[in-house]
């Protein structure tokens, strides 16, 4: 598939310079059609019957396999979730932390991680997003490192594997801005979250969680999928593998949509996205105060971010601001073209 062919799969790109996949990626036609087909089934045959459930459960298994292959882990290490936030909550509730325990995080994390961290009851230690500062903050009470692979603020990548090795601690990686944007190998990392609706261009409220060793994490928020059998008290035998952490039933349309979206992404997606991010930096450099970053998010400082975002939106150029930072953030995906970037630059200069 050529870039031109791939780009034509996204109707929304005809009008909008879509530079905010860091929030929601654009939906491709095959993704929309797969979702519509499931709604049609529901409308005409109902969401019911043995064959229906067997089929949807098989699709669920297929999705688990696809996501596992995407991040280089085994299907038995993938839980299907509804978001990165959901994944963080599953891990932090399951670790059963106490106030004397410490978790190290960075000063540039999203509330999708910070909220679950705070709710865990542990003492949260915040450092600069700098590998040396992170390692220096480790104490005998540290139980976990919890941080992003790609910072949502600047698009800077953190060396998550190196941090795990150097600290000797388990790591919870927030993968919201990495999976689908850069090549990810989550093998050997303890917990790694996936958002389906961002760089994977999947439906809303889809995602997954890698749990490297499912037997070592408590099922603290059981859904029906948690058990292979249970007693009248609710005491249960956990299902095999990370499927025990599946957070809920996902609609058949969501499963079909995410599978279709995974099928749309071309082999060259990571290289192309990196090229577009580099091109975006090159074009913005003379006109904007860029912050350092190396993934597919490009951020720049400006005096009035909401005004810049609004001005660009009036020209159908969609970017976002990062609250309380003075930053405007541009998301460059494999679908991004030169024309989108020129429209961005023209809008900034206007």
Ligand X SMILES: Cc1ncc(COP(=O)(O)O)c(C=O)c1O
* Residue 146 touches ligand X, criterion: CB under 6 A: no
Residue 105 or 343: which CB sits closer to ligand X?
105
Residue 121 exposed, middle or buried by CB count within 10 Å (0-12, 13-18, 19+): middle
* Residue 207 touches ligand X, criterion: CB under 6 A: yes
The secondary structure of 196-218 as a DSSP string is SSSTT---SS-EEEEES-GGGS-
**Which of 20, 31, 77, 84 forms a contact with ligand X (CB under 6 A)?**
84
What SS3 class is residue 326? Answer: coil
Closest distance to ligand X from the beta carbon of 330 (Å): 14
* Residue 112 touches ligand X, criterion: CB under 6 A: yes
Beta strands in 157-206 (DSSP E): 171-174, 191-195
Residue 112 or 238: which CB sits closer to ligand X?
112
Closest distance to ligand X from the beta carbon of 176 (Å): 3
Q: Count the alpha carbons within 13 Å of 206 in the hemisphere toward its beta carbon.
A: 30
The bridge status of strand 297-301 relative to strand 327-331 is antiparallel
Stretch that binds ligand X, among 10-18, 49-57, 110-118, 134-142 (CB under 6 A): 110-118
Residue 207 or 293: which CB sits closer to ligand X?
207
| Binding residues for ligand X, total number by CB under 6 A | 14
Rounded Cα gap, residues 225 and 212, in angstroms: 18
Whether residue 181 contacts residue 293, with contact meaning beta carbons closer than 8 Å, is answered with no
Length of the chain, in residues? 350
**Which of 27, 71, 92, 113 forms a contact with ligand X (CB under 6 A)?**
113
* Residue 20 touches ligand X, criterion: CB under 6 A: no
* Residue 145 touches ligand X, criterion: CB under 6 A: no
* Residue 176 touches ligand X, criterion: CB under 6 A: yes
What SS3 class is residue 315? Answer: coil
* Residue 174 touches ligand X, criterion: CB under 6 A: yes
Give 246's DSSP letter. -
Residue 77 or 247: which CB sits closer to ligand X?
247
Closest distance to ligand X from the beta carbon of 158 (Å): 11
Structure tokens at 227: 């058990």
Neighbours of 230 (CB within 10 A): 13
Stretch that binds ligand X, among 78-86, 184-192, 208-216, 245-253 (CB under 6 A): 78-86
Residues 221-280 that bind ligand X (CB under 6 A): none
Alpha carbon separation from 320 to 87, 240, 311 (Å, rounded): 24, 41, 11
* Residue 195 touches ligand X, criterion: CB under 6 A: yes
Residue 7 or 153: which CB sits closer to ligand X?
153
Binding site for ligand X (CB under 6 A): 23, 83-85, 110, 112-113, 148, 152, 174, 176-177, 195, 207
């Amino acid at each position: 598939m050529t870039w031109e062919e791939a780009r034509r799969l996204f109707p929304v790109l005809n009008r909008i310079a879509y530079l905010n996949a860091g929030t929601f990626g654009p939906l491709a036609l095959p993704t929309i059609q797969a979702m519509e087909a499931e709604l049609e089934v529901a409308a005409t045959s109902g969401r019911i019957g043995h064959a229906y459930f067997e089929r949807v459960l098989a699709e669920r298994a297929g999705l688990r396999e696809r996501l596992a292959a995407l991040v280089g882990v085994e299907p038995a290490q993938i839980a299907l979730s509804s978001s990165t936030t959901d994944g963080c909550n599953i891990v932090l509730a399951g670790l059963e932390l106490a106030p004397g325990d410490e978790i190290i995080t960075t000063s540039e994390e999203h509330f999708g991680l910070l909220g679950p961290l705070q709710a865990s009851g542990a003492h949260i230690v915040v450092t600069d997003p700098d590998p040396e500062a992170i390692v220096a903050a480790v104490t005998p009470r540290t139980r976990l490192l919890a941080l992003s692979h790609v910072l949502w603020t600047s698009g800077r990548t953190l060396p998550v594997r190196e941090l795990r090795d150097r600290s000797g601690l388990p790591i919870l990686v927030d993968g919201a801005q990495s999976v689908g944007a850069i090549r990810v190998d989550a093998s050997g990392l303890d917990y790694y979250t996936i958002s389906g609706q961002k760089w994977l261009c999947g439906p809303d409220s889809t995602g997954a969680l890698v749990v490297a060793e499912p037997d070592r994490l408590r099922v603290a928020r059981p859904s029906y999928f948690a058990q292979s059998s249970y007693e009248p008290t609710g005491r249960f035998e956990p299902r095999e593998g990370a499927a025990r952490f599946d957070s809920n039933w996902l609609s058949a349309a969501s499963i079909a949509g995410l599978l279709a979206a995974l099928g749309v992404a071309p082999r060259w997606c990571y290289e192309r996205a990196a090229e577009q991010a580099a091109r975006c930096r090159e074009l913005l450099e003379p006109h904007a105060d860029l912050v350092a970053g190396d993934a597919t998010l490009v951020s720049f400082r400006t005096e009035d971010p909401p005004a810049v975002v609004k001005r660009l939106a009036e020209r159908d150029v969609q970017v976002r601001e990062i609250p309380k930072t003075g930053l405007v953030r541009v998301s460059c995906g494999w679908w991004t073209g030169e024309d989108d970037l020129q429209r961005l630059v023209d809008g900034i200069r206007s």
